[in-house]
Structure 1
Amino acid sequence: MTAQPPLPVAMVLDAVPLGLAGELVRDADGGGTVFLHGQTSFSWDAGDEAGRRWAAVKLAAMKAAGVGEIAAVFDVTPSTVWLWKQLLADGGIIALVPEKKGPKKASLLTGAVITRIVELRSTGLSQQAVGNAVGVSEFSVRRALKIAAEQATTDAADIAAAGNPEPLEPAPAVAQQRELPILPASAPRTAERAAASMLECAAPVFAPAAHIRHAGLFLAFPALETTGLLACAKEVYGALPNGFYGLETVLIDSVLRALAGEARAEGSTRFDPEELGRVLGLDRAPEVKTIRRRIGQLAESGKAQEMIAALAKHHLAGTGPGGEDLAAILYVDGHVRAYQGTKKIGRLYSTRLKFPVPATEETWVTDANGAPVFVVMAAPGASLAAELRDLLPELRTTVGDDRRVLVGFDRGGWSPALFKHMDAAGFDVLTWHKGTTEDIKEDLFKEVTHTDEHGQTRSWSVADTLVDLPLNTTKKTGEVFNIRQISRIVATTGGGTRQIHILTTDKDLPAGEVVYRMGNRWRQENQFRYARMHFELDSHDSYRSSDDNEDRMVPEPAKARAYQKVVAARRHHAEAAAVADLNLLALKTPAQGTDEVTVTSAMHNHVMAPVWEAENALAAAEKIHQGIPAKIRLGDLNPGQQVLDTEVKMIHTGIRMAAYNTAMTIAREIRTNTGYRRANQEAHALMRQMFHQSGDINTTEPGYLTITLDPLPTTAKTAAAAELCNHLTAAETRYPGSNLILKYAIKTKTPALIN
């Protein structure tokens, strides 16, 4: 009804306006009438206080006007209108009748009840839940909290007036209960923005606020600290040029956006800058242009690879979840990132897409759990074996000592000469045997077992032998490299069996663990897949490019095509020779009962003609193949080829590595430190749900930043989040750039959780 257009004039000349749709006419004897759109809607006589209050409550319920405006017209305060509304809801219209003068009944809000209400409210329960637990109304709970806060303030003022130089602070439980403002305006930072050119960065400043979005991202800070991203970046880069957004702010913003599903700079457009700014302690989070400019300033120093190396050293210096040495086992693999732009980028074969595409390639190193440790840009067209050889010195520097490290990789790194080189350099090889090899005798197979870090035991039937690999690259004929081989019998799709072989230079590692560690290499593939889905691993982040080195020697594609013709000619020659042998045999073997046949030269030449023709074709193909050089200048093969800028990409890669390791740490904490029954299946989904949860920021406790998350949809998830909050609070993590210690809690839905 109130949505109808208001009448242009009031129905009574001395009426008091009430919103856009109504007016109040006061009678001389104390009664009154409310008109809405010119029609009488509410009326009360002199002395009918219950009717007057009922009219005010109903006007507020209809939203005929704001509560403040209704209170002003009825000569009361807004809190009085809310009181009337609560009385009407609790006891009906009879509750609006004013109490008679005289002795009143004893108040339910005794000192003990008020203390109990304050204690329960400090646990994060809602006011309604506290009221249900204590046996009073929600309104009484609010009154009790107000009384407690006023009493604490009065006590502090009395102590100060008595001359105490250090007045006592209000009790933490009372301070906790002061109502937090819902989405207040962010603290103004105008002065700091005006003086940004003289600031290294703006320090985080937090104000109390309720129900802010993205509050769950605060959960990431204890795990983010363990990655060493902020410390390593500060060690390598020092600081960004003076500005409002400093180095720590830009990195934290990038990690939090990645955890929220928007790892690219363009993803910041999907966040309200003010809402994300509350998590950063700023009035606004940086936006796309600012992020690109500040990351570009880091890229100008050319220290991205140095930062990646510092992150790797920090990671390998720690220990794994079970206390294991993270540097003991590493996996290496290449990752092809397809390019869809218009620049002339060299083509690489993508195993995921199953065909050659314009792309760049990186060489990644992960630990035994699949967590990324180190990454370098691969040289265009380089093999994994060549990249491994070049990577060994950097790995040795990262490990920091001479201990032997087990390095696992797939068949792309196959090279017996590389195996010998790695063994001499203090690295143990773990890879699959490439090519055909003789099967191992079945009587050499025996049962072996291995128990993993989760206590799960697996068993396999394996044969542990030694094999000699020919070193084809050496000039010494017959030189071989002796290496350990672990063989298994596996089923094939056709219903049969076949043998697969694992090679390693580690002679002491149990055979069961060799099989387990080789299969564990798939954790690296899983890391690529997860990062591609949730952290936009395949994005390029920067499309700046430069000309490739045209004097660089690259494989000549024509030689590969010529070799395919040689292979076809050899196959055709073998087929022709087989047919000729059959024909000659038929000529020399007459039918039964016939005289012996003499094979003449003409007959022989006729049978052998296809063979001689195939020999000539083969010789011609081999001559053409030998005449083509193995490599050619890039400028002659593909003039104008370009390479994408890698510095910006490597900075973003370091950020994504930290975000990935942060997410894996939180998911692991959910699995190991909560009682969530489906944690093994849903830890990552629950983690992402927590990161997107809203909550409160409370700064009333000196030295602490308390984050209280809103309840999750189910009781089980809320209980798991509460356990995680307790575990993260025990870490006593300091919010970067401040002296505030992070504390976590979560609100509960039902009073049934009260002890």
Structure 2
Amino acid sequence: MFAPAARVPLAGLLLALPALAATGLLSCAREVYGKLPAGFYGLETMLLEGVLRALAGQPRAEGAGRFAPVDLGRVLGMDRAPEVKTIRRKIGQLTARGRAGDLLAGMAAHHLGRPGAASRDEDLGLVLYVDGHVRAYQGTKKIAKTHLSRLRFPAPATVETWISDAAGDPVLVVMSAPGASLAMELRSLLPQLRKAVGDDRRVLVGFDRGGWSPALFAHMAEHGFDVLTWRKGHTENVAGDLFAETVSIDETGREHHWILADTIVELPIKNGGGTYPMRQVTRLDTKKGLTKQVHVLTTRTDLPAVEIMYRMGSRWRQENYFRYARGHLGLDSHDSYAASQDDPDRSVPNPAKRHSHLAVQNATARVERERARTDAALLAARTPTPGQAGVVVTNTLHNALTADLHAAEDDLAAARADHKHVPARVRLGDLAPGQQVLDTETKLIHHAIRIAAFNTTTAIARDIRINTGYARADQEAYTLARQALTQPGDIIPDEAAGTLTIRLDPLPTSRETDAIAELCEHLTATRTTYPGTDLTLRYEIKNRT
């Protein structure tokens, strides 16, 4: 219920409702959860509160205490916003149902099924990017360690696998199994991706070298998915006469000049699987005064080489989401401190196997050094310098010169024998008894809220770039969007007309005010209704005079 109110501090958050409706969070939550148990705050109110609070700069539940309950309650149509303990209790009720995965899958299907979800070129089909995100853990629980690329050393952490669309907007997230590689996660994700797409559209899946597996590439192609990835490992350079200068124009009108070569390579599949042919697009990189070749592999043969290279480079848009979400949406925050025991019978890699392998490597290097030293000593003994008498290499002298080499070879043989007998995998219970895993259900619900919040902000920023005349929209669209979302204003309900008018206060400069005025006209034209009511939203902004 809304009552007329002037200078509501967070009235600008209501600008997010048209874009939020397009994310499918509220509609999918109604289908998956139905409703919460009887109480003052319902399902839509709690999810709406989570998104609006994140857009206001407080993504964690504890951030609710940094707003006056009445201020946030005004934009929720309540006399006051829920407190921290209420938020946790209500989210806990959703967690108990164990259907966060269904909520995210529904949102993914909604996102990919909406108009414009495909790329700018219909012949390209759908483009998805997949990458793993490591979330560090700081606490007292016994959590498995994972390598953190940002810190460059292993630490307690959990791994998430994120899927984004061609623009880098998040679509779906799943919790990776402890110790699972990106290649393993990709294989298990394919049925979910096809279900989210909902039809037989061509899907180009881009990922980094963490998913390198020629067997996986063949498996993906067999199931109707095209592969796009960087080539991994040592690669022979492509002949120089195969390169040609190319030009690509992206969706923003920018030109990209590349020197590319287009070839076919055969990738060996391990364990006698033969080879798998793939298209290789190679870019000649001449930055920093050095010339090197950068190779991209794909199973798409119908696209121009410039399109393949552009799509591979666009994978960094997903990294931009990680960076933005860490800074503004609490991506790495601990939304739940609950944990459960990991499966003690789960098979995990044996660290002793790596240590024994390093021992073999060190022993091998020692043998090579001793062999070189022994050869030099024997050569010196057989070929004396001019003017010196020759030395007779007796068995005793020979044994003395080669003693260290024989000792090194014995140590190498022992190291190889030890390495052979060390099992590659062991029970988790034997290796790390008492290991725990963090609660995933609560985290996935909060990720659904974060996905909706980020896609809402992105949609508003795109509207600023496309539907307003703001001169610096390309550089400041996100900044202006966040500024407008926290702008105070008046809330004016009209039950007779069935409208809810939001009249914002002017922004600090005229050009910003004019841009938001154009944005308000565009958002009003969407004729969005406030969730749970029949009130149509109308947006205005006051003049600076």
TM-score, normalisation: structure 2: 0.96
Is 1:454 the equivalent of 2:252? yes
Letter in 2 for 1:393: P
User: Contact 1:229/1:655 (CA < 8 Å) preserved in 2?
Assistant: yes
Q: How far is 1:527 from its partner?
A: 0.4
Please report how far the alpha carbon of residue 449 of structure 1 lies from its aligned counterpart in structure 2 after TM superposition. Answer: 2.0
1:748 is matched with: 543
Q: Is the 8 A contact 2:125 2:201 kept in 1?
A: no
- What amino acid is the match of 2:534? N
1:268-417 alignment to 2 at 5 Å? 268-320=64-116, 328-417=126-215
**Which structure would you say has the larger Rg?**
1
Query: Match of 2:109, as an amino acid?
Result: K
Residue pair 1:450, 1:457 contacting (<8 A) in 2 also: yes
Cα pair distance change 1:470/1:687, threshold 3 Å: same
Post-superposition offset of 1:327: 6.5
Higher relative contact order (CA 8 A, sep 6+): 2
Whole-Å Cα distance in 1 between the matches of residues 528 and 459 of structure 2?
15
Secondary structure (helix, strand or coil) at the match of 2:178 reads coil
Match of 1:579 in 2: 373
2:12 is the counterpart of 1:223: no
Measure how far apart 1:354 and its partner are: 1.5
Contact 1:429–1:503 (CA under 8 A) maintained in structure 2: yes
The code of the aligned residue for 1:216 comes to: G
Assess if the C-alpha contact under 8 Å between 2:120 and 2:251 holds in 1.
no
The code of the aligned residue for 1:484 comes to R
Give the corresponding residue for 1:430. Answer: 228
Measured after TM superposition, the shift of residue 703 of structure 1 is 1.2
* Structure 2 match to 1:693: 487
Aligned letter for 1:702? A
Letter in 1 for 2:104: I
Please tell me the root mean square deviation across aligned C-alpha atoms, in Å.
1.8
Instruction: Give the Cα–Cα distance (whole angstroms) in 2 for the partners of residues 398 and 256 of structure 1.
Output: 26
Separation (CA, whole Å) in 1 of partners of 2:246 and 2:317: 22
Superposed displacement of residue 500, structure 1: 1.9
Residue 592 of structure 1, CA deviation: 4.9
Query: What is the identity, as a one-letter code, of the residue corresponding to 2:48?
Result: I
Which whole-Å deviations, capped at 9, do the CAs of 1:255-282 have from their partners, x for residues lacking one? 0001011111111101111111111111
SS in 2 for 1:699: strand
Q: Is the partner of 2:319 in helix, strand or coil?
A: helix
SS of residue matched to 1:725: helix
Q: Say which of 446, 467, 472 aligns to 1:673.
A: 467
Counterpart CA distance in 2 for 1:520 and 1:294 is 38
The answer to whether the Cα contact below 8 Å between 1:673 and 1:723 also exists between their aligned partners in 2 is: yes
Question: 1:360 Cα shift?
Answer: 1.1
CA contact (8 A) 2:203 2:224 kept: yes
- Shift in Å, 1:323: 5.6
Please tell me whether the aligned partners of residues 332 and 408 of structure 1 are also in contact (alpha carbons under 8 angstroms).
yes
Deviates more, 1:520-529 or 1:567-576: 567-576
Counterpart in the other structure of 1:99: none
1:445 is aligned to: 243
Indicate the residue corresponding to 1:499 in structure 2: 293
2:523 is aligned with 1:523: no
Aligned length: 542
- Structure 1 residue runs of 5 or longer lacking an equivalent are 1-204, 751-755
1:724 is matched with 519
SS of alignment partner, residue 38 of structure 2: coil
How far did residue 632 of structure 1 move? 0.8
- Is the CA contact 2:9–2:489 (under 8 Å) kept in the aligned structure 1? yes
Q: What is the Cα deviation at residue 608 of structure 1?
A: 2.8
2:407 corresponds to which residue?
A: 613
> What is the Cα deviation at residue 572 of structure 1?
1.7
Q: 1:599 to 1:384 in 2, by over 3 A?
A: same
Aligned to 1:636: 430
Describe the superposition over 1:664-717 as per-residue Cα deviations: whole angstroms up to 9, x where unpaired: 000111111111111111111111110110001112461111111001001111
CA contact (8 A) 1:459 1:512 kept: no
CA 517–746 in structure 1, closer or farther in 2 if over 3 Å, else same:
same
Counterpart position of 1:622: 416
Matched AA of 1:406? L
Q: What amino acid maps onto 1:384 in structure 2?
A: L
Partner in structure 2 of residue 98 of structure 1:
none
Q: Distance in 2 between matches of 1:354 and 1:708?
A: 50
Aligned-pair distance for 1:385? Answer: 0.8
What is the DSSP-based 3-state SS (H/G/I as helix, E as strand, rest coil) of the residue aligned with 1:676?
coil
Q: Deviations over 1:87-131 (max 9, x none)?
A: xxxxxxxxxxxxxxxxxxxxxxxxxxxxxxxxxxxxxxxxxxxxx
